């Protein structure tokens, strides 16, 4: 049996050349927590976490790593369930009487779920390496190139409205057949102008998605949707305020012809389930590197497929392309950052990984997730 020998977290953060904005937040850096899991027979798996604060996530990775040390490294579901049980009260958990940490802080739930996800994804990497096959083959995929779209249009304060159009047009020239624009940070009138300019710049044969970062209440979002419908929008992503629920998405879906995309900030399959089964979504975007890991992404994807919701996981193509490969009918594709200025780590952190060329993700045949970390870069950007 291949057993977990150690779990270590590496926080990495590279400063951006320019401060960027979404409608929700200011961005100064590109960051990731790498979770390094080693086994007693010499295998190493790497999981990725995108979240914050980095220090708190690393603390929970180390804590949870001690909980699972000695467990079967290829039994990722057993590991996941054991760690997830720590997020709720247990009959024997008071004071840690059952030998496990007492129920973990409710206030730290996002960081805890991120840590669980990082360990889980590292175990999938180990499982592929233990069997000598890539994860896409473990899932029954065929490893063919997969569709990818490029995200851009982040705001720089006081930049001209046409800057985003120029940026996304450059993605199209590099072969992307779909691009996504950050929106909803300005007035609806100015956003419509940004979208008009972008559509004119990329042409009519390219999919254009809008990422709204939960900027609107229901009334304003319906008004925004009606205003942008003439520009052939492929989806509205995270359109409503964080506290609005599936019932509100149902109302929005009834008031626009544009499909809705959502799910990257859902922490478990249970809340993702409610969005999927509501009928409001056209696309589910659960992110295995943000919360809960690859096991939970797979569970969410099976449910989405059963309800006719297309699967479009958020970012990290070197991981999520493996998932999409297993869903040839409703796997839409994966997201990339088309510009190294927004995500320098993705362009520097790996000595080997899936490649994005001409708007497609090209998987390799290496076991596990098929990427190798450049540890010099990890040391260079150690947080």
Cα–Cα distance measured from residue 272 to residue 356, given in angstroms and rounded to the nearest whole number: 28
- Measure the CA–CA gap between 213 and 190, rounded to whole angstroms: 17
| Cα 120 from Cα 31, distance rounded (Å) | 19
Exposure string for 107-125, b = 16+ CB within 10 A, e = fewer: ebebbbbbbbbbbbbbbbb
DSSP bridge partners of 344: none
Q: How many CA atoms lie within 13 A of 125 on its CB side?
A: 29
Cβ-proximal residues to 382 (8 Å cutoff; 6+ apart), any chain: 10, 11, 12
Stated as kind and residue range, the H or E segment containing 180 is strand 178-182
Question: At residue 22, what are phi and psi to the nearest 5 degrees?
Answer: -105, 180
Phi, psi (deg, nearest 5) at residue 12: -130, 135
Count of Cβ atoms closer than 10 Å to residue 246 Cβ: 17
Residues of the chain short of pLDDT 70, as ranges, are none
d(CA 285, CA 301): 9
SS3 10: strand
> In terms of DSSP H, where are the helices of the chain?
54-68, 76-84, 109-131, 135-138, 163-173, 188-202, 218-228, 246-254, 269-278, 293-306, 317-325, 344-348, 375-380
Q: Using one digit for the tens of pLDDT, what is the confidence trace for 104-132?
A: 999 999 999 999 999 999 999 999 999 99
Which DSSP symbol is given to 3?
Answer: B
Residue 52 CA to residue 31 CA, distance in Å, equals 9
The 3 state secondary structure assigned to 187-208 is CHHHHHHHHHHHHHHHCCCCEE
Cα–Cα dist 218/147, whole Å: 31
* Distance in angstroms (rounded) separating the CA atoms of residues 315 and 288: 10
Give the sign of the dihedral formed by CA 173, CA 176, CA 178, CA 183: negative
Report the alpha-carbon distance of residue 334 to residue 325 in Å, rounded.
Answer: 10
What pLDDT shows up at residue 95? 83
* pLDDT at position 339: 83
Quickly tell me which residue has 């997201």 as its tokens.
335
Q: Could you say which of 3.20.20.120, 3.30.720.110, 1.10.3720.10, 3.30.365.10 is the CATH number of the domain covering 137-375? A: 3.20.20.120
Q: Quote the pLDDT of residue 193.
A: 98
CATH 3.40.190.10 fits 4-133, yes or no: no
- Residue 194 corresponds to which tokens in the numbers above? 């940004």
Residue 136 has phi, psi (to 5 degrees) of -60, -30
For residue 326, the SS3 value is: coil
Cα–Cα distance for residue pair 58/34, rounded to 1 Å: 9
Question: Any idea of the CA torsion for 112, 116, 119, 124, to the nearest 10 degrees?
Answer: -160
C-alpha to C-alpha distances, 264 to 81, 278, 285, nearest whole angstrom: 21, 17, 5
Q: What is the pLDDT of residues 190-248, one digit of tens each?
A: 999 999 999 999 999 999 999 999 999 999 999 999 999 999 999 999 999 999 999 99
Judged on CB neighbours under 10 Å (0-12, 13-18, 19+), 9 is: buried
How far apart, in whole angstroms, are the C-alpha atoms of residue 39 and residue 59?
20
End-to-end CA distance of the chain: 35
The domain limits of the chain are 4-133, 137-375
CA distances from 77 to 38, 114, 196, 258 (A): 18, 16, 47, 37
């Amino acid at each position: 049996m291949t057993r977990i020998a150690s779990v270590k977290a590496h926080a990495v953060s590279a400063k951006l050349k320019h401060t960027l904005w979404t409608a929700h937040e200011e961005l100064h850096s590109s960051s990731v927590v790498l979770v390094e899991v080693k086994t007693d027979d010499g295998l190493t798996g790497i999981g990725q976490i995108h979240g914050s604060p980095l220090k708190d996530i690393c603390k929970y990775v180390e804590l949870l790593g001690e909980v699972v040390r000695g467990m079967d490294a290829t039994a990722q579901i057993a590991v996941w369930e054991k760690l997830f049980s720590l997020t709720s009260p247990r009959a024997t958990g008071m004071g840690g009487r059952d030998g496990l940490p007492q129920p973990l802080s409710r206030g730290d739930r996002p960081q805890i779920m991120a840590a669980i996800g990082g360990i889980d994804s590292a175990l999938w990497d180990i499982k592929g390496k233990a069997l000598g096959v890539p994860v896409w083959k473990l899932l029954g995929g065929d490893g063919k190139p997969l569709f990818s779209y490029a995200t851009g249009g982040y705001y720089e304060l006081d930049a001209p409205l046409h800057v985003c159009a120029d940026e996304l047009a450059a993605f199209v020239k590099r072969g992307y057949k779909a691009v996504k624009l950050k929106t909803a940070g300005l007035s609806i009138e100015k956003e419509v102008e940004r979208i008009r300019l972008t559509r004119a710049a990329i042409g009519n044969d390219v999919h254009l998605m809008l990422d709204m970062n939960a900027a609107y209440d229901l009334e304003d979002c319906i008004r925004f949707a009606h205003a942008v419908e003439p520009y052939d929008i492929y989806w509205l992503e995270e359109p409503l305020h964080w506290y609005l629920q599936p019932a509100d998405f149902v109302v929005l879906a009834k008031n626009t012809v544009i499909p809705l995309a959502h799910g990257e900030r859902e922490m478990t399959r249970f809340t993702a389930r409610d969005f999927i089964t509501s009928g409001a979504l056209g696309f589910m975007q659960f992110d295995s590197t943000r919360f809960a890991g690859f096991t939970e992404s797979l569970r969410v994807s099976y449910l989405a497929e059963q309800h006719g919701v297309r699967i479009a996981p958020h970012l990290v193509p070197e991981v999520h392309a493996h998932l999409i490969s297993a869903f040839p009918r409703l796997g839409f594709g994966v997201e990339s950052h088309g510009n190294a200025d927004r995500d320098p780590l993705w362009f520097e952190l790996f000595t080997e990984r899936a490649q994005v060329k001409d708007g497609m993700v090209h998987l390799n045949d290496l076991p596990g997730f098929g990427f190798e970390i450049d540890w010099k870069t990890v040391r260079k950007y150690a947080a």
